[in-house]
Structure 1
Amino acid sequence: MVTILRTVHWTVLPHAGDPITLLQAAVEQTDFSVTSSTPTSIVIDVPRAMMKNRWAATITGMLSPHDGSTDIEWTIDGLGNKHYEHMVTIAEGMPEGSLDDHGIPEAVSKIALKVFGRKEIRHLANVLDRGEFVSAIGVGNLGGKMGIVALTDRRLLFLEKSIGSENLVEFSLASIGALSLGKKMGGETLTITHSGTTATITTLGHGQGDGIARKFRELKAQPAAERPAAAPAADPIAQIERLAELRDKGILSEDEFQGQKTQLLSGL
């Protein structure tokens, strides 16, 4: 089985306290362990757990200040398909309100998400970019799979319900030509016209499709200059340089460094 490398972005808010202290306390509530930490980095070991159907993984967090907050760029390196679930586990140990919630709680409060629980909502936060804001949310079916439908200020996302699946479908706002609302016996539908093709999300709850469609029209009506810019993609070379610093400090072994370096370069 090939190891998988995933990246997750967190923002620790200014009032929360020292991020490293908060993270260490959160990890202590799990069966994970902090193997090393500095003011700007932390490495977390996720042990193999056969009873939990979990492979071992190494989670590396690089911290940097940003507008009074602290941005954390996480790299999760391991086998299996529980990379995001590892991050949900850590997030559950963080104090309430210490992390940027991307507007998710407010969006959820406007509808009934009975199908989903706390972990799935936290899972959504792990696939968002720094500063990305959720405007509307719902639960629907795409391609025979149930998932969270979220409209952000940058894209429309469909995140499959199962955390283990890590299946994400996304449409950038710029690529969506139209978002059409419909109604069927099973609920509301959204038909997305993008790049010359269409995709339809079905079985949305009452008012969920309408809320997403209305927010989409509002966002598209904004002048281009007023729309939030998409977060820049993580620079693989910069990531390799930061990983090299961790290796030089003895935080990562040479084999761990070379393995993560190879995966980052393969994406260029």
Structure 2
Amino acid sequence: MQYAGLNGQIEVVGDALIIRRTGMVARMGGTAGPDRRIPLPAISGVGFKDATRLVNGHIQLGLGGRPIRELGSQATGDPDTVVFTHKARDQFHQLHKWLQSVVELNLRAGIDPSAVAYGQGESRLDRLEQKRQQLDDRLEQKKQELDEKDQHHRAQQAERMTGPDGRRDVQDAVARMGWKLGGGREIKNLGAHLYDTETVQLIAQGTYSDDQGIIVLTDTRLLFLFHGIVRQRKEDFPLRSISSVQSKTGMITGELQIFSSGNTAKISGVVKDDLEKIAEAIRQQIAHGSPSPPATTAASAPDITDQLRKLAELYEAGILTEAEFTAKKQELLGRM
């Protein structure tokens, strides 16, 4: 027995239904394809909408225990549904009653429709969903690749700025910087201004009293460093002496105000993301207390004196320039 619909036909052959999709409606609905063979024990329900002279009807198969779906205007694109016209309504009324009897027989026989294999059909919406999922997967994979490249690029930038033998904490802080153009000379020379026992947490670029350099937050202090070709500048703000900080941001950059020992210092031109990170980190350390910077012991003084002597010898031998000699001498004197 055959039942001809608008977007396909149903034929009963032995203990199975054959759904054939032919014609322009099937092609437009996205259901055109090879014949589907559906064993009768796989039918677990049947939905029916009658046809009128103005509106087409449809018959919908519930397969494998799946519920009957609400189709609305999408009936022609559903792989388990055949649309019919008012002219064929009597035939499809008969098919509907017969399919209801098949469902009842399956229930009385204790058949589990979900255990019966049947030809799966894909609607146009199913295929679109698959394509969307594939696109999402590709986009996620591309995002992961870009993230890995970005991390690798940041690591390379950090190594170029700090050198292959640079401190790991400095390299990690450089990799976290939001803005990296400039500041390279200061970062390369940063290691000479750090205590062995302190750890760098964040680095950003900023301007302090017309000197454009870097601000460095460690676990003991906030350090501003400017390292020009002929002139250097270093300012220390021990965290234990900072009472509070304020941050003011514009569209891109902002200003950090440091209140320390009754004085106020302003560092401007700090990229907004870096500024907020540093300001919040300082507030956290102030709130929880910060360790004191390492004290200079009596045993270390002779060592610095010896370094000064060796530094003078290098300068007299012409190995160091006057600018390099002056910068290193000021640093050593600052440690005494």
Question: Normalising to structure 1: TM-score of the pair?
Answer: 0.49
| Structure with greater helix percent | 2
Q: Which has the larger radius of gyration?
A: 2
Question: Normalising to structure 2: TM-score of the pair?
Answer: 0.40
| Structure with greater strand percent | 1
Higher relative contact order (CA 8 A, sep 6+): 1
